[in-house]
Structure 1
Amino acid sequence: MDDNLIIPDENIAGKIYFIRNQKVMLDRDSANLYEVETRVLKQAIKRNLNRFPEDFMFELTKPELENWRSQFVTSNDSDKMGLRYSPMAFTEQGVAMLSSVLRSDRAIAVNIKIIRVFTKMRQLLSDNLSLKLEIEEIKKKLTNHSKNIELVFNYLDELIDKKENQKPRNKIGYKK
């Protein structure tokens, strides 16, 4: 196995898209990482289609493909980003299954790397969610503190008003 595989995490993370409310990697990007042609990757998948249920892989619809393309501003209309057919999108489980159909040391090494990046991304999202929840909790406490401070000031205002409206009291103590 290729333990010296050097693919920066950022390169892999940049090829993970959010489509149909899930993180996916497109066939052309996967093929690029595995150093095989996209058609070779697709042929291997078609020979092993039973390994790729819908929650592992799906084909992008025309609207999804257009939306994906629009994320990459291209001025040249003839450049369809090298896509003649709708790409296949692989979920994390689908990416894991790819190494079993490609059967090469590079595929295994790349898969391990990709799965680690997916895991890091999931951890980052989880950490972000935890931070958001903590911030909301702090906001609630601050709101309560603000209300309590306002209440104290209202009571102080009432006491000051009472004192101003009271008639002077007789002084007690020794008189000269």
Structure 2
Amino acid sequence: MAKKTIKTANKQPVANCDQSTKPVTKRDQLVESTSPMAIEQVNIGQLIMTIRDTQVMVDRDLALLYGVDTKVLNQAVKRNISRFPERFRFQLSDVEKDELVTNCDRFKTLKHSSSAPYVFTEQGISMLSTVLRSQTAIDVSIRIMDAFVAMRHFLANNAQVFQRLANIEYHQIETDRRIDEVFKRLDANTQPQQGIFYDGQVFDAYQFVCDLVRKAMKSIVLIDNYVDDAVLTLLDKRADNVTATIYTQHISRQLQLDINRHNTQYPAINVEHFNRAHDRFLLIDDEVYHIGASIKDLGKKWFAFTLMQDITTTELINKITAE
């Protein structure tokens, strides 16, 4: 038997009771013309819901089963209200009523009702037969009691199955969370393969190159004809045990002095003379980036960068050392 659930606003919403593959009756729904004879066709278990962690039935469903108006049923209860404490019968909140209307088509007329329906627990339904005082009420109450008992047996007999399903659902949610976290980290660590930085994007361009330097695992090679101490500082952001080499055309006395002072305090950066390159290249491990501006001037004017796919760092280094 399917079990429908209504929760309050801070809990999960009621399951859509109209999506059940099993009809409530052989006519697919409980209609207002239900008579005592038609009750034999009703699958009462489909009318039992769980609200506030308690199995209950809605007053409208009960009235149809008993063959009386909902108003008549509730009036009979009010005349004997001392027999119906809160644990036997309670009124839904506005939020619970809205969820009931949203998820159960047979309660759509409640949408414009100014009052919320009442629901009855198993004990309350048992008490109903004593206040309605008819053989029909007695017969229907017996059938409803049987349905509640069958529901409890079903839940008890399948408790381990439900627990396993709950565990599977929990693990699935946890797995989905971890997968989402992995994708978020992948997205965060993914470097663009090409793009343009415009004048004024000084920090954005600087941050982009810093991220490239930080992700290096083995080596960094910079080919740039215009280098100063700012470039040395940027390359110091590399991880430990990552080598750094600069190929440049101009090694002035000041630059050589900066290099010597730098290398006495920080992991050494090797600087070599090379005057065969016009463009700038940044080699990060096995990736070759073509960069349209000197590293020291990033963001001052428009420049583009591209991750080159048709050449490896080894090929480029071999061409440099062969000169």
**Counterpart of 1:7 in 2: which secondary structure?**
helix
Deviations 1:104-149 (A, max 9, x none): 00000000000000000010000111445799xxxxxxxxxxxxxx
Q: Are 2:144 and 1:117 aligned?
A: no
Aligned equivalents of 1:88, 1:70: Cα separation in 2: 17
Q: Are 2:129 and 1:99 aligned?
A: yes
**Cα offset for 1:12?**
1.1
Q: Are 2:39 and 1:7 aligned?
A: yes
**Counterpart of 1:50 in 2: which secondary structure?**
helix
Aligned-pair RMSD on alpha carbons? Answer: 2.8
Aligned equivalents of 2:98, 2:39: Cα separation in 1: 28
Whose RCO is larger (CA < 8 A, sep 6+)? 1
2:156: which partner in 1? 126
Q: Are 2:69 and 1:37 aligned?
A: yes
Q: 132, 138, 144: which is aligned to 1:108?
A: 138
Q: Is the CA contact (8 Å cut-off) linking 2:92 and 2:116 kept in structure 1? A: yes
**Cα offset for 1:88?**
0.7
Aligned equivalents of 1:19, 1:70: Cα separation in 2: 15
Q: Is the CA contact (8 Å cut-off) linking 1:5 and 1:109 kept in structure 2? A: no
**Cα offset for 1:84?**
4.2
Q: Is the CA contact (8 Å cut-off) linking 1:34 and 1:106 kept in structure 2? A: yes
**Cα offset for 1:18?**
1.0
Aligned equivalents of 1:130, 1:48: Cα separation in 2: 41
Identity of aligned residues (%): 42
Aligned equivalents of 2:160, 2:41: Cα separation in 1: 23
Structure having the higher helix fraction is: 1
TM-score by length of 2: 0.37
C-alpha distance 82-5 of structure 1, shift in aligned 2 (>3 A): farther
State how many pairs are aligned.
Answer: 130
Structure having the higher strand fraction is: 2
Q: Describe how 1:1-176 pairs up with structure 2 within 5 A.
A: 7-8=39-40, 11-72=43-104, 79-80=109-110, 83-131=113-161
Deviations 1:19-52 (A, max 9, x none): 1011100111100000000010011000000000
**Cα offset for 1:8?**
4.4
Matching residue's letter, 1:112: I
**Cα offset for 1:14?**
1.8
Unaligned runs of 5+ residues in structure 2 are 1-35, 166-323
**Counterpart of 1:55 in 2: which secondary structure?**
coil
Larger radius of gyration: 2
C-alpha distance 116-69 of structure 1, shift in aligned 2 (>3 A): same
